[in-house]
Structure 1
Amino acid sequence: MSSGILSPKDEFDQGEKADIGHSEILANPELMTDAFDGENREHEMSLWAAVKGHPWACFWAFIMCFTIVSPSPAHLGSPQCPDLESRKSTLCAEQQLMPRQVMESFDMFLNGNFVAQGAFRERYGVYVEGSGYTIPTRWQSALLQSGQCGAFVGVFLAGPITNRLGYRWTTILALVLMNATIFISFFADSLTLLVVGQALEGVPWGFFIANSPAYASEIVPLALRGACTSTLQMSWSIGGIIVAGVTYGLNQRTDEWAWRIPLALQWIFPTALLILVFLAPESPWWLIRRGRKDEALRSIERLGTKSGEHAQQTLAMMERTVKIEAQMGGAPTLLDLIKGTDLRRTIITCLMYASQNFAGNLIANQATFFFEQAGISTDRAFQLNLINSCLQFIANAGAWFLTAWLSRRTIYLWGTATNITLLFILGICASVSQNTATNYAQAVLGIIISFVFAGTLGPISYTIIAETSSVRLRALSTGVGRAAYYVAEIPMIYLASQLLNPTGWDLAGKCGYVWGGTACVCWVMAFFFLPELKHRSYREADILFNRKVPARKFKSTIIDVKDNE
């Protein structure tokens, strides 16, 4: 083995040594035999055998995904809210929330709840006749979108920094930055400073969302890739549930601690995660790309490969894939994402991320307000939203089994088709003469749509994203893909607000026609362009893309274990 253990300083100075030590593998029969055996063993490993043999890999993947659980301000609130009566303003601000992974989602949700709190509105709002104290429209928009703008910057920074420092140190850096920026929000004494704090907090959120799916997909065996990457969607649900509980419990307070306590609770996540991530192993794929094979071997062993022979075979398999990809180019750059066959992979990643905003998810994220607009009483709307959140969590857990049983394309296409049907039925229910039965029918349909999304489209999107990009460009690809999500999300949030708000288009359940139409576009694009990568090693995925195999033929195309092109 070539390189030994390096100090952290040396670890940061390895940028120029990207392909050390594995240039000979394709010409070494012994190493190639190990690579063949390692890949065959991964293909033969069952889901249960992978779980039993790699519990630590599952644990570390979950910990990295948990960085997405914190709450923030981005998707909450609507420009129309200040013009509504006080009760509807509260619903509008509180419920138009977009789920984020646990840490990111916890931070993202807070501000939307703040603009609904009486103490916060009285401190920073203006008095509107007939509505009481409300936060001005421009400040609601700023609070809700500042974190997204910061995250947009963060996802672009994440790729180059991760390529330089690795997933582990980049995440530690982001957690330290997160701790520091929370101080700004916590001690903010004006809306201006709070917006600045949320924008700066958004930068590490971008690091988390870009790195989590990539790291999770690289440290687990092939059989576990689907289940572990789909955990990201569950992290969003956990973050939303935590925020709902915290803000609900403090909503009756009339002093500044009604919003400062939730802000302070943000420190719990990065502080605990800092310790865990420091103890986590680095991705062996990243270490091999840096030529640090000794460390990569130890990382493989820490992740659950106890047999020395099996660890060597896994190492050889990774080296072989890295070498094949290295022949396509040198050090990865953002421009590489739009060159050759990587352009196709980048487009698929971006479409998967962006499509999360078009297939009914925004109904799930506006649940309480949607229920209210469908004619449900305020108290019952909040009860239904709690039920909806719990059902989403259950659906997220069910996705683990779906990814093991069904193919990626099957889950995505049938999940989207199911929601298309439900969305058009929702539109029809809202178009007929309204009564109690139709009101509850719309509410139930909204819950079912949320459940389907949480069990199919949402989690499987992260799996597809993690598997589609090449190993060499994965950190860059997941970051750019997430940027596409933000680009699509911002106008869609505005559209969702317009569709539901009484001062907008006031369509209530008729918005099902709109989201059903956009979901149809997602289904058609997925049918023609989404490849099936279940049970495919990263080497096989590279070969399939390089051969320009049509998406619908990925599953049936046979790749020999000895192919290196």
Structure 2
Amino acid sequence: MPGGAIAVGDGLGANAPKNRFAGILMTAFAAFGGILFGYDTGTISGVKVMPDWLHTFGHPTPDDPKFSYNITTGQESLVVSILSAGTFFGALLAAPMADYVGRKWGIVASCLVFSVGVAMQTAATEMPLFAVGRVFAGLGVGLVSCLIPMYQSECSPKWIRGAVVSLYQWAITIGLLLAAVVNNATQNRDNHSSYRIPIAIQFVWAAVLAGGMAFLPESPRWLIKRGRLDAAAAAMSRLTGASPNDPVVREEIRLIADNLEAERALGETSYLDCFRPSSNKIAFRTWTGIAIQGWQQLTGINFIFYYGTTFFLASGIKDPFLITIATNVVNVGMTLPGIYGVEKFGRRSLLIWGAVGMCVCEFIVAIVGVTVSVDNIAGQKVLIAFVCIYIAFFASTWGPIAWVITGEIFPLQVRAKAMSLSVASNWLWNWAISFMTPYLVNPGAGNADLQVKVFFIWGSTCACCILFTLFCIPETKGLSLEQIDLMYQNSTPFTSHKYRARLFADEEVGHAGKGHHDEGSEEKV
């Protein structure tokens, strides 16, 4: 972008060593919002097969050997997918919320919307109110899922930004695990508390997130965008431990403001601008964000966490609730290597190898499933083992890194809009998969009855994830958000490693960013 400035040093807070970890802890706390996302997602997987819930919302099925009451495929699809419909619109609403209310207070408001939905589900004894409650909860989750990675990306120092944003995915996995544990503890209660307890616990998660965020600083980049430079200095001071008048803080603010002015000179402010080709490659970036969130869902991971209990039951597993807990433990534990690896090995390489690993595992699961009887104990153990390995690959790569990429590839002027479109893509595909899966998997008239053969589909989509990463994802490890802007202008995903090395070299010799940008505009890497 003409006149753009490059952020030198180690990014927001990295030049204030005396208290920079306080800022990291603040932005890391925001990841708690992932608990809302993961817990709500995991709760419905177990709730919808609890006897009392089926008795309350379903219909008698005397011929079913497993359940005396049940729900139709259409009702199952509605109950699971309606949350994702709410999250889709919540993600779209996150853009105006983030731009006008702010990143911090937008998260607090999202918790209130989420709590309304939880209250409706807890009180419901009829399907319509339960479904509407899931819509409102979805609105809250959709808002949070966009606002939190945005807040973390804008407030974290660049040297650890990927790890901090990855904590959001880790919190999602912890939420899924907590949901599995609570579901397992209450499933056999013979009254409404069996499903109301797991649902009502979500009030606690919303209260903790809203209460904590109220005490955190607002994003300095949002304050700069609103023209509140003194407030931005104060916020940055809290994140770095330096004085608001510290030269490092003032220089950081000046660099961010200069980049923002250069973006504004290009006139990129609307949703339409997100899709217009320009020297800033904003259209390519927007489609990259939309696509990576879509491909994350198309890996098939939410098939396990939405329908895992039902799937394992149909596969002959005697205690599907315990297997669901086991898969969630793997999900939580294997996200930690991803948090480490995103800054050690980089985004691009982990996405490629993660997709390769998932692809292999899913084809093995599909082949074992169609060749081995459900009564074959050894075969079922192999199936469970490779499902767990597949989850491990996802948790350490595509799970956290999709959120990292989405949070860091957009320029400040359109970040809220482009991120909301990307996260909305996640929830649109989430809805489509959760809506279609019962029809794809379940037996019966009008259904495809694929059962375990659905893993052939997920394996094929993971193969597509490999190609997508090769052609569309540059390596952004260690770069400031402003440096990522320059990299998109002056390199391609295949040459991003070389351009990234040049940016680091310029920092080491103390070159001014503007001079480097002028050179890069004439000669592409």
Task: Say if 2:124 is the partner of 1:188.
Answer: yes
Task: Say if 2:273 is the partner of 1:336.
Answer: yes
Letter aligned with residue 113 of structure 1: G
**Alpha-carbon distance in 2 for matches of 1:223, 1:364:** 33
Could you report, residue by residue, the CA deviation over 1:421-452 in whole angstroms, capped at 9, with x for unpaired residues? Answer: 22223333335455433322121111100111
**Alpha-carbon distance in 2 for matches of 1:55, 1:264:** 34
1:52 is displaced (CA, Å) by 7.8
Q: 1:430-449 residue pairs with structure 2 within 5 A?
A: 430-432=369-371, 434=373, 435-449=376-390
Letter aligned with residue 382 of structure 1: F
Could you say if the C-alpha distance between residues 540 and 396 of structure 1 is closer, same or farther in structure 2, counting changes exceeding 3 Å? same
1:258 is displaced (CA, Å) by 2.2
Match of 2:399 in 1: 458
| Pairing partner for 1:258 from 194, 215, 218 | 194
Match of 2:492 in 1: 550
What SS does structure 2 have at the residue aligned with 1:552? coil
Q: 1:34-433 residue pairs with structure 2 within 5 A?
A: 39-42=8-11, 53-67=19-33, 101-131=34-64, 132-306=68-242, 308-329=246-267, 332-340=269-277, 341-362=281-302, 364-365=304-305, 366-375=307-316, 377-379=317-319, 381-432=320-371
Letter aligned with residue 192 of structure 2: E
**Alpha-carbon distance in 2 for matches of 1:156, 1:174:** 13
Which shifted more, 498-507 or 353-362?
498-507
Match of 2:522 in 1: none
Q: Is the 8 A contact 2:289 2:405 kept in 1?
A: yes
**Alpha-carbon distance in 2 for matches of 1:418, 1:270:** 35
Match of 1:477 in 2: 418
Letter aligned with residue 338 of structure 1: F
1:499 is displaced (CA, Å) by 5.0
Letter aligned with residue 519 of structure 1: C
Q: Is the 8 A contact 2:166 2:403 kept in 1?
A: yes
Q: Is the 8 A contact 1:213 1:463 kept in 2?
A: yes
| Pairing partner for 1:532 from 464, 467, 475 | 475
What SS does structure 1 have at the residue aligned with 2:498? coil
Q: Is the 8 A contact 1:362 1:496 kept in 2?
A: no
Could you say if the C-alpha distance between residues 197 and 485 of structure 1 is closer, same or farther in structure 2, counting changes exceeding 3 Å? same
**Alpha-carbon distance in 1 for matches of 2:436, 2:389:** 22
1:102 is displaced (CA, Å) by 0.8
**Alpha-carbon distance in 1 for matches of 2:429, 2:195:** 30
1:551 is displaced (CA, Å) by 1.4
Letter aligned with residue 554 of structure 1: S
Q: Is the 8 A contact 1:51 1:224 kept in 2?
A: no
Q: Structure 2 regions of 5+ residues with no counterpart?
A: 507-511, 519-525
**Alpha-carbon distance in 2 for matches of 1:102, 1:218:** 21
Q: Is the 8 A contact 2:85 2:431 kept in 1?
A: no
Could you report, residue by residue, the CA deviation over 1:428-487 in whole angstroms, capped at 9, with x for unpaired residues? Answer: 333545543332212111110011100111111111111111122111112111111222
**Alpha-carbon distance in 2 for matches of 1:372, 1:280:** 44
Q: Is the 8 A contact 1:321 1:538 kept in 2?
A: no
**Alpha-carbon distance in 2 for matches of 1:175, 1:454:** 26
1:417 is displaced (CA, Å) by 1.1
Q: 1:13-32 residue pairs with structure 2 within 5 A?
A: none
What SS does structure 2 have at the residue aligned with 1:269? helix
Letter aligned with residue 323 of structure 1: E
What's the Cα RMSD here?
2.6
Q: Is the 8 A contact 1:415 1:452 kept in 2?
A: yes
1:53 is displaced (CA, Å) by 4.3
Q: Is the 8 A contact 1:374 1:442 kept in 2?
A: no
Could you say if the C-alpha distance between residues 497 and 139 of structure 1 is closer, same or farther in structure 2, counting changes exceeding 3 Å? closer
Letter aligned with residue 31 of structure 2: C
Match of 1:486 in 2: 427
**Alpha-carbon distance in 2 for matches of 1:428, 1:250:** 35
- Number of residue pairs the alignment of both structures matches: 493
Could you say if the C-alpha distance between residues 500 and 179 of structure 1 is closer, same or farther in structure 2, counting changes exceeding 3 Å? closer
**Alpha-carbon distance in 2 for matches of 1:495, 1:255:** 31
Which shifted more, 312-321 or 490-499?
490-499
**Alpha-carbon distance in 2 for matches of 1:192, 1:51:** 54
Q: Is the 8 A contact 2:440 2:448 kept in 1?
A: yes
**Alpha-carbon distance in 2 for matches of 1:133, 1:50:** 62
Could you report, residue by residue, the CA deviation over 1:159-208 in whole angstroms, capped at 9, with x for unpaired residues? Answer: 01211111012112222223334333332332111111221222121110
Q: Is the 8 A contact 2:13 2:20 kept in 1?
A: no
What SS does structure 2 have at the residue aligned with 1:378? coil
Q: Is the 8 A contact 1:500 1:508 kept in 2?
A: yes
Could you say if the C-alpha distance between residues 226 and 493 of structure 1 is closer, same or farther in structure 2, counting changes exceeding 3 Å? same
Q: Is the 8 A contact 1:360 1:449 kept in 2?
A: no
Q: Structure 1 regions of 5+ residues with no counterpart?
A: 1-24, 27-31, 68-100
Match of 2:509 in 1: none
Q: Is the 8 A contact 1:360 1:419 kept in 2?
A: no
**Alpha-carbon distance in 2 for matches of 1:303, 1:447:** 38
Could you say if the C-alpha distance between residues 105 and 399 of structure 1 is closer, same or farther in structure 2, counting changes exceeding 3 Å? same
**Alpha-carbon distance in 1 for matches of 2:171, 2:162:** 15
**Alpha-carbon distance in 2 for matches of 1:51, 1:395:** 30
Letter aligned with residue 44 of structure 2: N
Q: Is the 8 A contact 1:51 1:58 kept in 2?
A: no
Which shifted more, 306-315 or 289-298?
306-315
Could you say if the C-alpha distance between residues 496 and 193 of structure 1 is closer, same or farther in structure 2, counting changes exceeding 3 Å? closer
Q: Is the 8 A contact 1:147 1:198 kept in 2?
A: yes
Letter aligned with residue 270 of structure 2: T
Q: TM-score, normalised by structure 2?
A: 0.87
Could you report, residue by residue, the CA deviation over 1:260-314 in whole angstroms, capped at 9, with x for unpaired residues? Answer: 3333222212222222111110000111111111111111110124262322232
**Alpha-carbon distance in 1 for matches of 2:370, 2:73:** 31
Q: Is the 8 A contact 2:117 2:135 kept in 1?
A: no
Could you say if the C-alpha distance between residues 181 and 423 of structure 1 is closer, same or farther in structure 2, counting changes exceeding 3 Å? closer
Letter aligned with residue 9 of structure 2: N
Which shifted more, 308-317 or 402-411?
308-317
Could you say if the C-alpha distance between residues 187 and 62 of structure 1 is closer, same or farther in structure 2, counting changes exceeding 3 Å? same
Letter aligned with residue 383 of structure 1: L
